[in-house]
Chains A and B, each alone.
Chain A
Amino acid sequence: MGDILLQLNNISVVYSNVIQVLKGVSLSVERGHIVSLLGSNGAGKTTTLKAISGLLKPENGEVTDGNIIYNSVNIQNRAPEDITRQGIIQVLEGRQPFKYLTIEENLRVGTATRPGKPYKEDLEMVYHYFPALVKRKKALAGYCSGGELQMLVIGRALMAHPQLLMLDEPSLGLAPLVVQEIFRIIKKINEEHGTTIVLVEQNANMALQVAHYGYVMENGKIVMEGTSAELSDNPDVKEFYLGMAASGMAKSYKDVKSYRRRKRWL
């Protein structure tokens, strides 16, 4: 492997001192790559991201074991103000715009990690990636469509000049064409800016198309990893995440059995 930007070594996360959500997750992210994190609901994907970005703390969660190394510095359990200033920005699940701020004001909040610095060029850069935002820039974010909001929150994160951008389910609740557009732009950001991206997705098909490498999570553990091609070829991934029969053909209802195929890794 090449240059490692982020490394998680066997981390455990506990909420409220009792609820253990991550049970020893290890993964590494190479600089300049897109890494996707797949898994069903409740697998611990979002918690993994929050452990990295420091957003566990306000939710009373804590990394109790293992360490997170970013740019060869330990960052576990640091405050989010600190971690964002190191260049890690997480785009939260469910978009979370500032509803009563205009689009442009929303984007300006993205400069919080470097207050007082000029930001006009960055605004241009975001409008260049997301032309749909230009004509809405004076509109309150609360009145924008889901696709516009997803573009807005990714753009807002870009304003912070992230080295590591973590996207939590950018495709959630969007029309297939909009999803394609968003993923195309994610790929473009990665290629043009060299931004390292961690992508959490339910839409495994789209995620594997843009990602270089992938991890599959289940029950707070990493159960499988590999390059996107390897994962797409894996019969289990096909069956459980890509909605195809093990043979690779589209699945027909005729073949649906009353029992489910056993997940081999469990």
Chain B
Amino acid sequence: MDFFLQLLVNGVCVGLLYGISAMGFVMIFKASSVLNFAHGELLALGAFIFLSLITWGKIPVAAAFILTLAGCFLLGFIIERFFLRPLIGEKLIFVIMLTVGLAAMFKGLILLIWGGNLHTYPEFLPPSLEMQLGPIYIAPVYSATLVISIVFLILFGLFFKKSSQGIFMRSVADNQKAALSLGVHVRRVFALSWAIAAMVACMSGIVLGIINGVNVHDLSAIGLKVFPVVILGGLDSIGGAIIGGIIIGLLETFTGGYLSPSLRDVVPYIVLVVILMVKPYGLFGLVEIERV
């Protein structure tokens, strides 16, 4: 029973990270219908930039974290401006192929600069984050994950519900033509959704790097895990992405714990296939409001 609870907690923490990273993916999809295949590479890039800042740059951890997030936010803007924007109005498949190209480019870049070895961050989480709830032991990295995820979720909730820019972003996802007719700057919304997506991807990259170590191949493979997550949650539901993430995270840790660690990477995809057969729109996919 203790083992079960332990796995449950770890699963939820990792799952929240998957969920937040998938949220970035969903955001781009909702705003511009583009599937971003470079998501995993963005994740890895964030982890490596953070690594460089704290080991080579000797910048304090908190500053490095914020700097990395800001840098990735900017990177998202740049990607949209120089790679995506020239393709507005072109067929969607071209845009999606472009993101595949971006993925290869980023991966190559990371291999060139940092190599393909496993790096680790120096220990920097204070041991005071360690928690012991009855029989369950929560390692500092997991409690940090929990805190960061919840802060991000609340911030995003407020941003999309209350701020004007958040409402404009939702309006573009909802009805692009009407948004255009009211003077919403649609290209700016696309750019912003890339920027936010890149930022949350980097954030989850860093945290996953703390948990598993920093390696290009592992991290970009985790980026691919957004597919089972978003398909489980419904491609166009941000809340669904979070719940999908938690479910996939739990499945992974339980298979790793009870069956075999080598199966943990396969199970999410098996679930993906099953979900596609049973509920092709995902658990929380948009139920079209139909006026009859």
Contact = CB atoms under 8 A, between A and B. Distances in A.
Interface of A: 53, 55, 58, 80-81, 84-85, 89-92, 96-101, 105-106, 108-113, 115-116, 140, 142-143, 153, 156-157, 160
A105 B170 contact: yes
Interface of B, secondary structure class, is: helix
24 contacts: A81-B184, A84-B183, A89-B183, A96-B175, A96-B177, A96-B181, A98-B175, A99-B175, A99-B289, A100-B174, A100-B286, A101-B171, A105-B167, A105-B171, A106-B171, A108-B164, A109-B182, A109-B184, A110-B182, A112-B171, A113-B183, A115-B164, A142-B289, A157-B182
Contact of B185 (A81, A100, A142, A156): A81
A158 B180 CA distance: 15
B164 A111 contact: yes
Contacts, number: 86
Given A108-B167, A109-B168, A115-B165, A99 B174 contact: yes
Contacts of B171: 98, 101, 105-106, 109, 112
A101 B174 contact: yes
B170 A100 contact: yes
Contacts of B151: none
A116 B167 CA distance: 12
A53 B164 CA distance: 23
Interface in B268-287: 286
A262 B289 CA distance: 45
Interface residues of B, number: 21
Interface string B156-196: 00000000110110110011011111111110000000000
A18 to B, nearest CB: 17
Contact of B174 (A55, A98, A108, A156): A98
B164 A116 contact: yes
Contact of B177 (A58, A105, A140, A143): A58
Which of A80, A91, A111, A157 has the most chain B CB atoms inside 10 A of its CB?
Answer: A80
Given A80-B183, A140-B289, A109 B177 contact: no
B181 A55 contact: yes
A105 B164 CA distance: 9
A101 B184 CA distance: 15
B185 A98 contact: no
A98 B165 contact: no
A157 B183 CA distance: 10
Interface in B250-292: 286, 289, 291
A96 to B, nearest CB: 4
Q: Which of B171, B181, B286 gathers most chain A CB within 10 Å?
A: B181
B178 A92 contact: yes
Contacts of A108: 164, 167
